[in-house]
Amino acid sequence: MTATRTPALRREAMGGLAKGLAVIRAFGRDHAALSLSDIARSAGMPAATARRCLLTLEELGYVTRNGRSFLLRPKVLELGAAYLLEELARETADSAALCVLDGAEIAYVARTSVRTLLRLEAHVGSRFPAHATSTGRVLLAGLGAERLQHYFANARFEALTANTVVDPQTLGTLIDEARRNGYSAVEDELAYGVIALAVPVFDHRGHVVAALNSSSHSGRTTRTRLIRGRLAMLQQVSRQISADLAAVPWLSLSAQI
User: Domain of 59?
Assistant: 2-72
For residue 256, being part of any structural domain is answered with no
149-204 tens-digit pLDDT? 999 999 999 999 999 999 999 999 999 999 999 999 999 999 999 999 999 999 87
Query: Do 200 and 155 have their domain in common?
Result: yes
| Residue of 251, 194, 238 lying closest to 63 (CA atoms) | 251
Are residue 53 and residue 116 in the same domain, yes or no?
Answer: no
pLDDT number for residue 78: 64
Beta bridge partners of 214: 96, 197
- Quote the DSSP letter at residue 116: P
- Structurally, the chain folds into a number of domains equal to 2
pLDDT at 3 over 50: no
Which has the closest alpha carbon to 106: 144, 136, 71, 68?
136
Of 72, 89, 123, the one marking the end of a domain is 72
Pair type for strands 95-102 and 105-113? antiparallel
Q: How far is CA 246 from CA 107, 140, 243, 249, in A?
A: 21, 21, 5, 8
In one letter, which amino acid is 177?
E
Q: Which of 57, 72, 87 is the last residue of a domain?
A: 72
pLDDT given for residue 10 in this prediction: 42
Same domain, 64 and 81: no
Query: Do 112 and 166 fall into the same domain?
Result: yes
DSSP 144: -
Residues 198 and 212 in one domain: yes
- Claim to verify: residue 58 and residue 156 sit in the same structural domain: no
